[in-house]
Amino acid sequence: MKYVPLYLAAVLLLCLAPMPYGYFTLVRVLATVVFGIYAYRCYVGKKEGLTLVFATLALLFQPFAKVGFNRVIWNVIDVIVAIGMVVLFFWERKNREKAEQGNNPIPPNSSFKVDMVEEAHHDGRLSRLVITKDFRLLLPDFNHMEIKMEPLTKAVYLLFLNHPEGIVFKDLPSYRNELAEIYGKLRPGGLTDRASQSIEDVTNPLLNSINEKCARIRGAFVGQFDDHMARHYYIDGRRGEAKKISLPRELVVWE
């Protein structure tokens, strides 16, 4: 869905040109599908306002019982919606960039970061990853650096650490109970209804929650040292294939 808003904006603006009738029907079908998907994602994410907006747009553009506006009104609607889709694209991109920044990164000009990366590049070594009894993530060979994550993000990370073979995102519902058990250990007060809903969302492959968590995990490591080293520690993999943490498991230490 990354560039879909821009694609839809483009086809809507083409409606201002004298296109054949079949083109307008195709645009209606495409718009209905896109707005329907966004409405569903917003509904699951409990974003009531956006759910109503996208559901209304889906009904407006649906090709089965057409709304009888004249050409001028439709042109105005197409332009307004196209602008809205462009705004949506940049809003989503901004959210992705925030997610990739991770938590508590070392400033880019940090002398420690530069020295550490240069040394790591020189000898090609990787640090052990230690998971303490209270589930802190430490890199003892990198001056005892701690990688900090929010509880649910950390629970996702620990889940993938438990499965060196990797996990295909479409199979995530099968890991829901295991993730809930891990998340529960990170929340001494127990799982609230909201926490349980978050677990359900992140294990729903139709939502973007798992991608957001993986982006935050990547950001937590890339924020500390460059991608050349970080890629061994974060969750990665080709689309449609199992995502995994490539760090050799002999370097993973559970206290």
**Cβ-defined contacts of 29-34 (< 8 Å, 24+):** 29/63, 31/57, 31/58, 31/61, 31/81, 32/58, 32/61, 32/62, 32/63, 34/4, 34/8
Residue 162 has pLDDT above 90, yes or no: yes
The confidence band for 248, taking pLDDT boundaries of 50, 70 and 90, is very high
Q: What are the tens digits of pLDDT across the range 197-222?
A: 999 999 999 999 999 999 999 999 98
Q: What are the tens digits of pLDDT across the range 11-55?
A: 999 999 988 989 999 999 999 999 999 898 888 777 788 899 999
Q: What are the tens digits of pLDDT across the range 102-159?
A: 444 444 444 444 454 445 544 558 899 999 999 999 999 888 899 999 999 999 999 9
Cβ-based neighbours of 170, under 8 Å, separated by 6 or more: 205
Mean pLDDT on 170-191: 91
CA distance 249 to 251: 5
Q: What is the pTM of this model?
A: 0.58
The four Cα atoms 205, 209, 210, 212 give a dihedral, to 10 degrees, of 140
**Cβ-defined contacts of 65-74 (< 8 Å, 24+):** 66/28, 74/15
Mean pLDDT on 168-191: 92
